[in-house]
Structure 1
Amino acid sequence: MIRSHSLRRSAQLARRRLRRALPAVGVLLAAAVLTGCGGRPVQAGAAAVVGPDRITESAVQARVAEFRAQAARLPSGQYQEQAGLVGATVSGMIFSEVVEHALAEHRLTVSDTEIAQARADQAQAWGGEAGLEQMLLLKHAVPAGEIDTFHREQIGLQKLAALGGQQIGTTEGNKTVHQLLAEAAGELKVTVNPRYGSWDAQQAVLESPSEEWLPQSGAAA
């Protein structure tokens, strides 16, 4: 059931990362926002600063390396890396922090039991754990080690939409989530290291540079 895929340009990757959804329940986040604020310098060695937390360059490189190692084990021809992986990785790591902050602000939690159930449902839908890992890797740039985080975010987004009596994937539900994430990102004062790109305020995505500073692996075999 898994078709050949390739990651597109940075804006497309980041936009897809921000709009990822749980296929089993058919949810879709239409426009989750990550508002960048340039009022403070990015600390040395940081890819981004989100509130009191630093997303380090080493953490980004480790996440990218994990992705590439998993992609390299796919059958030949299923994946060929294109520009945008690093920017999408930074964007996704920031997104996780923003969602977590929004949930905490509204005293919402996602339990390990909820995550395990969502993962089990998705694995069943994709023919087992291996199928789930492959689908999330190719469609959403989620390496195996981040699958639980992915599901935590998706369940969290559903709970944020429910605060307004809405469902994610609907116009009103998406508006509710968009507003709550915008507020959370504003409170956190997200700042991104220019080497990783800059925030597009209108599209709410990370526009990534060429990434020549980080070696590319090319086609995975």
Structure 2
Amino acid sequence: MIRNSSIRRTLPALGALLAALALSACGSQPAHPGAAAVVGQDRITVAAVQARVAEFRAQAASLPTGQYQEQAGLVGATVSGMVFGAVVDHALASHELAVSDSEVAQLRAQQVQAWGGEPALEQMLLLKHAVPAPEIDAFYRQQLGLQKLAALNGQQIGTTEGNKTVHQLLAQASDELKVTVNPRYGSWDPQQAVLDSPTEAWLPQSGAAA
């Protein structure tokens, strides 16, 4: 069982891990026409990216005035997150690891209790991790997956060695998938498993969510 305190440490730990991965990237091959990114044999479509952004903006718009101000980079961060999720899935599958629905449900129930209810949990994940409500289960599935990848070497995510283990596994998975990203979003560095210099001026932007 994963304790609440452990997960609450893991959430910022993931942010630290992703920040550590965010190094300068080399160029990437052009993505297939009509796709925001291509990950292995799978396409992440522009429509899917826009739908995810719309989910986020719709939920953010319901927050009290002044609680959220949209920053530049939301669309690029969304593409990066969707590609990152596919890379994590590939790394797990490569090592015959999986996260069950019951594990996700248990973790979510623990977090609902820890944060004092579903609405509070949804707001926290939206503001701190840019996770809209429909993507919460996927977010926790990824959290548990990262923990399982770290555990392959007997490590824990959030520690120096645990983060190093996960970094190496994700870089390997990213390289195997030969990720390509539409240059309008930026370029994907397989060695760092990160999207570099995303741009998004070609997509419609909303004003501040209030």
Do these two structures clear the TM 0.5 threshold for a shared fold by scoring above it?
Answer: yes
Shorter chain as denominator, the TM-score bin is: 0.7 to 0.9
Contact kept, 8 Å, 1:87 with 1:206, in 2: the verdict is: no
Q: Does 1:163 align with 2:144?
A: no
CA RMSD of aligned residues (A): 2.1
Mapping 1:1-221, distance limit 5 Å = 24-27=7-10, 28-29=13-14, 30-32=16-18, 33=21, 38-39=28-29, 41-199=30-188, 204-209=194-199, 211-221=200-210
For 2:192 and 2:144, locate their aligned partners in 1 and report how far apart those are by CA, in whole Å. 26
Which shows bigger deviation, 195-204 or 57-66? 195-204
For 1:218 and 1:23, locate their aligned partners in 2 and report how far apart those are by CA, in whole Å. 36
For 1:81 and 1:25, locate their aligned partners in 2 and report how far apart those are by CA, in whole Å. 25
Q: TM-score, normalized by length of structure 1?
A: 0.83
Sequence identity percentage: 72
For 1:110 and 1:194, locate their aligned partners in 2 and report how far apart those are by CA, in whole Å. 32
SS in 1 for 2:204: coil
Contact kept, 8 Å, 1:198 with 1:208, in 2: the verdict is: yes
Where structure 1 has 5 or more consecutive residues not aligned to the other structure, the ranges are: 1-21
Contact kept, 8 Å, 1:136 with 1:142, in 2: the verdict is: yes
For 2:147 and 2:70, locate their aligned partners in 1 and report how far apart those are by CA, in whole Å. 31
Q: 1:204 deviation in Å?
A: 3.3
Q: How many correspondences in the alignment?
A: 198
For 1:206 and 1:25, locate their aligned partners in 2 and report how far apart those are by CA, in whole Å. 28
Q: 1:212 deviation in Å?
A: 2.1
**Greater helix content:** 2
For 1:110 and 1:37, locate their aligned partners in 2 and report how far apart those are by CA, in whole Å. 33
Q: Deviations over 1:144-188 (max 9, x none)?
A: 110000000000000000000111111111110000000000000
For 2:7 and 2:165, locate their aligned partners in 1 and report how far apart those are by CA, in whole Å. 22
AA matched with 2:47: S
AA matched with 2:185: Y
AA matched with 2:89: E
Where structure 2 has 5 or more consecutive residues not aligned to the other structure, the ranges are: none
